Amino acid sequence: MNQFLPVSKEEMVERGWYWYDFLVITGDAYVDHPTFGPAIISRVLEAEGYRVAVLAQPDWHSADAFAAMGRPRLGVLLSAGNIDSMVAHYTAAKRRRHDDAYSPGNQAGRRPDRATIVYSNRVREAFRDIPLIIGGLEASLRRYAHYDYWEDKVRRSILVDSQADLLTYGMGERATREIARRLAKKEPISSITDVKGTCFLARSADACAYPKVEVASFEEVARDKRAYALANQVEYEEHDPIRGRAIVQRHGDAYVIANPPAMPLNTAELDAVAELPYVREPHPMYDAMGGVPAIEEVRFSVAHNRGCFGACNFCSLAFHQGRMITSRSHESVIREVEMLTKHPGFKGYIHDVGGPTANFRHPSCAKQLEHGLCKKRACLAPTPCPNLDADHSDYLKLLRELRAIPGIKKIFIRSGIRFDYMLEDKNGEFFAELVKHHVSGQLKVAPEHCVNGVLDYMGKPHIQVYEKFKQKYDRLNQKYGKEQYVVPYLMSSHPGCTLQDAVKLAEWLNKTGRQPEQVQDFYPTPGTLSTCMYYTGIDPRTMEPVYVPTDPHDKAMQRALMQWKRPDKRPLVLEALRKAGREDLIGYGKECLLRPVHGAPAGGPPEGRKSAGKGRAGEKSRGGKPKLKQAGLRVEHNESHAKRKAGWAKPKSKKNAKPGKGR
């Protein structure tokens, strides 16, 4: 039976340990599962023969908790957890969150803001000059000078602010193994400056061991937004393990040097990491606190791939995992699913066989393997590259093999289907089997918006592609007698989205009979191209200006327009329509979003705009009787009717009564 790694001095003594090699600190609860980064790194080190202890969510108000297990022999590895600590704590509106799925009992506040920096300070208090390596998503996305949404300013590289010795970025298995090997050979941490996938501080740019490019300094990007945009684009373009160069950025008298990215693990290596002896559960010390909610989404799910060449500009994946796809072997995934069928809580359903993007199983094209991904060309948007290899046959074969395993009732795909990529596969077998076997009532996809200009800023395909997908999806459901729906993820207030664009999105939702229960407002996370647009007002790909909705009230209006039927949103929607010059959408026609208030006439079309909507005086209602004139007619808002109409689709059974949660 697999054991958790020790989390206290008492547990080390039970193992007969009176010393250990590495302390792994995490801002999440200790969940020993291969979807938790600190668990992966801990098990990778253990597999290399090192003694590893885990310190999860320590009390950061003093150094006592950090010193409690004693000084590790070789070093400390530190992560804020699976997500950035500021994202974990605050909404896009900068309001404090009330829960945290990565903490026991869903309790918020069990880690500090800017956890990597705070934990690093406590490690230095506890162990002074011990080798300190920071990693995880928070460190990875903040490795350069970066715009910080919560302080609304450019901050220094987190390597500078934490005063760590090294920073590992991306998926850190290769870098961690190499660092540990050299520390075990008594090599000073100050000399470990040539490991790919790491950053270090130096007194000279000449300390870099690789071909390099220097971007504008912290001081320059902090005062000049154009310099920031130029630097951000270079940082993004060079994040390629084949053609990428090292990046140098001066911070005062020191230089942050980011070595080129490490190569992704190959299939055999990825299999080995996925099949390390994880317990696959939260540590039992959390049982009395209600467990750790984050495990519920992944306990009966399988990650079969890494990386994403989708290149959505608002997504951090390209800047962290990278755009090169690697995948596990069929045999490895089958072994994992067979193991899950023996779990006492397993009921026959695998919730997901996915990853960053579920239907990516191989690199986007053969050229990528030799030359890396193209600098100035995205694989899928705004149109697919002619070299794109959209073959789904390997993924389809894997799913068929998994469905045949005894004890399996259903294999679902929930982690995201790239619908534009799927449409490029001229063989329709995968699409057909997706509909027949792998949808749990609702398929979640991400068109994000309906205005093509906004979608271009997002790095997403044009809306016509989504509509083509939706039509084919509906036809297949009808063909196979399925009652399954599409839940489209949508985003408000992305850079490039004007109030007029937000109105068009509301019109599109009204036309398609959709209104989302949850709306994702754009969240400027560190490092992404969209965050660069948000801060600078410049599209770094073209260096052209871009409109950015930053005023909280304007953003609230954009958000409200996507939920125009909600009574509490009416004042904001009314204000937005008037501000956008779209009073024609206040009336009685089916195209209208709002009904007039008592005593007010329906909004007429603005100058030069064709009249929108039917239902004007003299037209007949469904019952054949003439409709009353609009002027002066009081129309009560029927809240229960609005609630019935607010769903994605009319439910016909309890299991389809509510859509799934948003992102």
Q: What is the pLDDT of residues 173-223, one digit of tens each?
A: 999 999 999 999 999 999 999 999 999 999 999 999 999 999 999 999 999
Residues 373, 236 within the same domain = no
Q: What is the pLDDT of residues 501-550, one digit of tens each?
A: 999 999 999 999 877 877 899 999 999 999 999 999 999 999 999 999 99
- Domain extent for 165: 9-258
Task: Tally Cβ neighbours within 10 Å of residue 638.
Answer: 12
Please check whether residue 187 lies inside any domain of the structure.
yes
β-bridge mates for residue 162, sequence order: none
| Annotated binding-site ranges for [4Fe-4S] cluster | 308, 312, 315
User: Could you tell me the CATH number of the domain that includes residue 130?
Assistant: 3.40.50.280
Distance CA 429, CA 31 (A): 38
Residues 218, 306 within the same domain = no
The owner of tokens 């000078």 is: 145
Residues 304, 402 within the same domain = yes
Helix or strand (DSSP H, E) at 234: helix 225-237
User: Could you tell me the CATH number of the domain that includes residue 329?
Assistant: 3.30.750.210
Residues 236, 308 within the same domain = no
Domain count, the chain: 2
Burial of 158 (0-12, 13-18, 19+ CB in 10 A): buried
Q: Are 28 and 102 in contact (CB under 8 A)?
A: yes
Please check whether residue 49 lies inside any domain of the structure.
yes
Distance CA 452, CA 165 (A): 45
What six digits make up the tokens of 379? Answer: 């694989």
Residues 132, 17 within the same domain = yes
Q: Are 88 and 35 in contact (CB under 8 A)?
A: no
Distance CA 84, CA 224 (A): 26
The single-letter code of the amino acid at 188 is: P
Task: Using DSSP, state whether 622 is helix, strand or coil.
Answer: coil
Please check whether residue 337 lies inside any domain of the structure.
yes
Distance CA 248, CA 245 (A): 10
Counting Cα atoms < 13 Å in the Cβ hemisphere of 172 gives 28
DSSP state of 606: P
Residues 252, 163 within the same domain = yes
Q: Domain ends where: 205, 229, 258?
A: 258
Q: Domain ends where: 417, 440, 463?
A: 440
β-bridge mates for residue 445, sequence order: 488
Please check whether residue 263 lies inside any domain of the structure.
no
Nearest to 34 by CA among 267, 281, 261, 399: 281
Q: Are 311 and 236 in contact (CB under 8 A)?
A: no
Q: How confident is the model at residue 603 (pLDDT cuts 50, 70, 90)?
A: low
CA distances from 503 to 121, 178, 333 (A): 48, 53, 45
What six digits make up the tokens of 394? Answer: 């390997």
Q: What is the pLDDT of residues 334-373, one digit of tens each?
A: 999 999 999 999 999 999 999 999 999 999 998 888 898 8
The single-letter code of the amino acid at 592 is: C
Residues 181, 254 within the same domain = yes
β-bridge mates for residue 545, sequence order: 538
Distance CA 50, CA 38 (A): 15
Residues 60, 204 within the same domain = yes
Q: How many residues does the chain have?
A: 663
| Annotated binding-site ranges | 308, 312, 315
Please check whether residue 557 lies inside any domain of the structure.
no
Q: What is the pLDDT of residues 234-255, one digit of tens each?
A: 999 999 999 999 999 999 999 9
Task: Tally Cβ neighbours within 10 Å of residue 323.
Answer: 23
Q: What is the pLDDT of residues 119-170, one digit of tens each?
A: 999 999 999 999 999 999 999 999 999 999 999 999 999 999 999 999 999 9
What pairing do the DSSP bridges indicate for beta strands 326-327 and 442-448?
Answer: unpaired
- Which pLDDT value is given to residue 320? 87
Residues 316, 245 within the same domain = no
Q: Domain ends where: 420, 440, 460?
A: 440
Please check whether residue 410 lies inside any domain of the structure.
yes
Please check whether residue 625 lies inside any domain of the structure.
no
Please check whether residue 142 lies inside any domain of the structure.
yes
Residues 29, 165 within the same domain = yes
Write down the pTM of the prediction.
Answer: 0.88
Q: What is the pLDDT of residues 280-320, one digit of tens each?
A: 999 999 999 999 999 999 999 999 999 999 989 999 888 88
Helices 267-274 and 37-47: angle between axes, nearest 10 degrees: 100
β-bridge mates for residue 662, sequence order: none
CA distances from 347 to 113, 340, 341, 409 (A): 39, 10, 8, 8
Residues 177, 231 within the same domain = yes
Residues 207, 327 within the same domain = no
Q: How confident is the model at residue 600 (pLDDT cuts 50, 70, 90)?
A: low
Backbone angles phi, psi at 90, to 5 degrees: -130, 145
